[in-house]
């Protein structure tokens, strides 16, 4: 008989080891998946995790780690603050889209005026767009008691419709020969989020991600609001007695997560993506949930997890072109990481017991 027995206290050692065990389990079972697809499992895993860092063209792929990792870290930091308090914003993808639309809208409105003030205004607009979209589920929750998980998730599909509408309508490039999509912001110097150091991938989005990591760490360890976030997630009843205002906490956590997701969208549309298109969003908002939990909701852990997930993105692209792996297999591989993380995380609070059950 195999049964689960609750531990007297959560295992700190298992909690720290779970992310590493989840990565190893993902490699093993991902290798089996690739083998089932007729590919060499060892070559596939090596291509995903080794080629971007030490392969023949690593000089090109390494800067991509920062480019891919920055939006994941930015979004995951915002989500982690809410998750720690038991506030579940699952709609960061929609907030990411709206941040991009608001920010790009400001840049396109100024086109072709050149000025130092254009990009800062785009940053403010992007942050506002993400914050505004996150306030919808936040206000519905505090006023009417709705479920923020469902509302924020459904708003992702509304945001995607806005994205398609803008790509085909208001933001459509008048000089684009009828093709959907906005003007290319990379060709508009005042609105372009270019590399601060050429060829390194270090743009303002990377700087913002690093600032967000430092800010979140200080907030959670040194500030009263960080204490309120932690105590609300760990002991809700104790939070009530300590004077934590749950309404204000929902608004703050949802607002910060939306703001950071909006910034991620703005930095992406003005930099690597370059323009508003129908398929602009690539799932960063959902992948950031994996990053947040893989990093144990800790700012430094999220930074490392974001780089790891960026590595799977880049390595997955290499594996598709070099080994012929289908894109769906790479997505399943990434999904395995969250599956094993959640499955193994159960053993932080429970242990397996083997033995017979006694008759009542």
pLDDT digits (tens, 9 = 90+) for 240-290: 788 889 899 999 999 999 999 999 999 999 999 999 999 998 899 999 999
Contact 290, 309 (CB under 8 A): yes
Torsion of Cα atoms, 102 then 84 then 289 then 213, to 10° = 70
With CA atoms as reference, report the closest residue to 33 among 305, 240, 336: 336
d(CA 266, CA 124): 9
d(CA 127, CA 270): 13
The total of other beta-carbon atoms located within 10 Å of residue 335's CB is 14
Q: pLDDT, tens digit, for every residue of 153-194?
A: 999 999 999 999 999 999 999 988 889 999 999 999 999 999
Instruction: Please state the rounded mean pLDDT for residues 137-162.
Output: 96
- Predicted TM-score (pTM) above 0.85: yes
Beta strands 2-6; 350-354: pairing state? antiparallel
Is the pLDDT score of 202 beyond 80? Answer: yes
Chain centre to alpha carbon of residue 302: 10
Instruction: Please give the pLDDT value at position 358.
Output: 54
The total of other beta-carbon atoms located within 10 Å of residue 82's CB is 30
Tokens found for residue 257: 């997560």
pLDDT confidence tier of residue 336, bands split at 50, 70 and 90: very high
Would you call 170 helix, strand, or coil by DSSP? coil
pLDDT confidence tier of residue 357, bands split at 50, 70 and 90: low
Tokens found for residue 245: 């205002």
Question: Rounded to whole angstroms, what are the CA distances from 17 to 14, 234, 287, 340?
Answer: 5, 21, 21, 12
pLDDT confidence tier of residue 47, bands split at 50, 70 and 90: very high
Please, which residues have CB within 8 angstroms of residue 9's CB and are 6 or more apart in sequence? none
Using only C-alpha atoms, the chain has a radius of gyration, in whole angstroms, of 22
With tokens 């053993």, the residue in question is 347
Contact 99, 74 (CB under 8 A): no
The total of other beta-carbon atoms located within 10 Å of residue 2's CB is 7
d(CA 269, CA 44): 31
């Amino acid at each position: 008989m195999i049964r689960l027995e609750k531990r007297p206290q959560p295992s700190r050692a298992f909690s720290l080891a779970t992310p590493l065990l989840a990565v190893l389990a993902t490699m093993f079972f991902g290798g089996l998946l690739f083998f089932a697809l007729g590919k060499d499992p060892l070559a596939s895993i090596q291509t995903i995790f080794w080629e971007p860092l030490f392969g023949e063209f690593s000089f090109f792929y390494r800067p991509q780690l920062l480019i891919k990792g920055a939006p994941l870290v930015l979004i995951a930091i915002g989500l982690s603050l809410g998750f720690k308090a038991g506030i579940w914003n699952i709609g960061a993808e929609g907030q990411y889209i709206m941040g991009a639309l608001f920010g790009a809208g400001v840049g396109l409105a100024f086109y072709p005026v050149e000025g130092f003030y254009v990009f800062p205004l785009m940053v403010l607009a992007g942050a506002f767009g993400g914050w505004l979209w996150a306030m919808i589920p936040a206000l519905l929750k505090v006023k009417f008691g709705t479920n923020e998980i469902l509302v924020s998730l459904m708003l992702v599909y509304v945001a995607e419709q806005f994205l398609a509408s803008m790509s085909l309508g208001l933001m459509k490039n008048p000089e684009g020969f009828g093709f959907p999509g906005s003007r290319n912001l990379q060709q508009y110097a005042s609105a372009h989020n270019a590399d601060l150091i050429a060829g390194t991938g270090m743009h303002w989005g990377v700087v913002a991600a690093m600032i967000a990591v430092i800010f979140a760490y200080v907030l959670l360890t040194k500030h009263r609001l960080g204490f309120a976030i932690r105590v609300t997630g760990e002991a809700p009843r104790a939070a009530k007695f300590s004077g934590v205002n749950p309404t204000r906490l929902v608004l703050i956590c949802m607002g910060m997560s939306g703001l950071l997701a909006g910034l991620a969208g703005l930095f992406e549309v003005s930099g690597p993506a370059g323009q508003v298109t129908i398929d602009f969003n690539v799932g960063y908002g959902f992948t950031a949930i994996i990053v947040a939990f893989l990093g144990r909701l800790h700012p430094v852990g999220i930074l490392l997890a974001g780089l790891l997930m960026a590595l799977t993105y880049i390595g997955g692209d290499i594996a598709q072109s070099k080994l012929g792996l289908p894109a769906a297999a790479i997505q399943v591989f990434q999904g395995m990481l969250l599956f094993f993380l959640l499955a193994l995380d159960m053993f932080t609070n429970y242990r397996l017991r083997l033995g017979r059950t006694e008759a009542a």
